[in-house]
Amino acid sequence: MLFVWYPKCTTCQKAKRWLEKNDVSFEERHIKEENPTIDELREWHRLSGVPLKRFFNTNGLRYKELQLKDRLASMSEEEQYALLASDGLLVKRPILVSREFALVGFKEEEWEKAFAGSRG
């Protein structure tokens, strides 16, 4: 599994502890040092089953600086993918990617449910 995170993010730290506590093996990737590519984002979006809008870090400074709250609705998916790929800090984190699913953000209940379904 791929664990895409920003080490200074407290939610990411909680997610990492959850993975370790549940003996989930994963490969770490620092989102600011290695931005997701457009192709990765497309695939993660497909696996996640959530709207693309959910991939944006709406609490981030960069999101606010670019006034994306007002602009996203008028942007095409391709423009949104390109924007997300341009700056890792625009991307909601953590993201956990497996062959079967992609989880965006850390909500313990969602993660438990995803793992219950994939272990069975």
CB contact at 8 A, 55 and 104: yes
Whether this prediction's pTM lies above 0.85 is answered by yes
| One pLDDT digit (tens) per residue for the chain, 120 residues | 999 999 999 999 999 999 999 999 999 999 999 999 999 999 999 999 999 999 999 999 999 999 999 999 999 999 999 999 999 999 999 999 999 999 999 999 999 999 886 653
Rounded Cα gap, residues 86 and 35, in angstroms: 7
The interaxial angle of helices 77-86 and 38-48, nearest 10 deg, is 120
The pLDDT, as a whole number, for residue 65 is 95
Domain count of the fold of the chain: 1
Is 30 within the bounds of a domain?
Answer: no
| Residue 26, in any domain of the structure | no
Residue 99 lies in a domain: no
Instruction: Please check whether residue 4 lies inside any domain of the structure.
Output: yes
* Residue 5 belongs to domain spanning: 1-11+36-94
